[in-house]
Amino acid sequence: MNFKNFHEAFDKPYKWEIDPDSVASLGFIADADDYTLEVYFWKNDADIEITFAVDDLERLTGNGNAFRIFATVKDIIFANIKYLKYSKSVYFSAEKKEKSRVKLYKLLAPKLKKKLKKKHLVLSETPGLVIFTISDKD
């Protein structure tokens, strides 16, 4: 993929819609070529966890459309900022071994923090996960 195609992929999210059958607090679905992308907002008290899966896998699929999938996830999150804005914290995580996903999250997290007008972005690690938490907590 050349540099121009790289940036175009981020500008072309897949078409998505609310998933009426979602068990999450709020769910979205997109047809990503031959795959199904699902994005979930899980509300737990005043906190919201964001997860996404491609064909029920919460890891990179290696199918070559990772940038468009990530562009779609970002598009869904930013289109629903009002839902996220009033939570105490918003968080998402990636497995440490998924270095590409961690890098993409490191790009997304500061932009989301700014959009949410939150004060803090905390990056924490467990033995297998990198967790990104955006909040106003000191």
pLDDT in tens, 90-137: 999 999 998 888 988 998 999 999 999 999 999 999 999 999 999 987
Query: Residue 62 — pLDDT band, cuts 50, 70, 90?
Result: low
What is the pLDDT, as a whole number, of residue 101?
85
Name which residue leads in pLDDT, 107 or 9.
107
**Distance, CA of 74 to CA of 115 (rounded, Å):** 12
The pLDDT assigned to 63 comes to 58
What pLDDT, on the 0 to 100 scale, is given for residue 137? 73
Q: Where are the beta strands (DSSP E) in 46-99?
A: 47-54, 89-95
* Nearest to 66, CA basis, from 29, 42, 40, 35: 35
Radius of gyration of the chain (CA): 15
Number of domains forming the structure of the chain:
1
Q: How many CA atoms lie within 13 A of 20 on its CB side?
A: 0
Predicted pLDDT of residue 6 = 47
CA–CA distance from 85 to each of 15, 59, 117 (Å)? 23, 26, 8
Which pLDDT band holds residue 12 (cuts at 50, 70, 90)? confident
**Other beta carbons within 10 Å of 26:** 18
- Mean pLDDT within 76-93: 93
d(CA 44, CA 42): 6
CA distances from 57 to 19, 30, 61, 87 (A): 17, 14, 8, 27
Question: Which DSSP helix (H) or strand (E) runs through 38?
Answer: strand 35-44
Q: 58 is in which domain, residue-wise?
A: 3-135
Q: What CATH number did the domain enclosing 38 receive? A: 3.40.630
**What is the DSSP secondary structure assignment for residue 61, as one 8-state letter?**
-
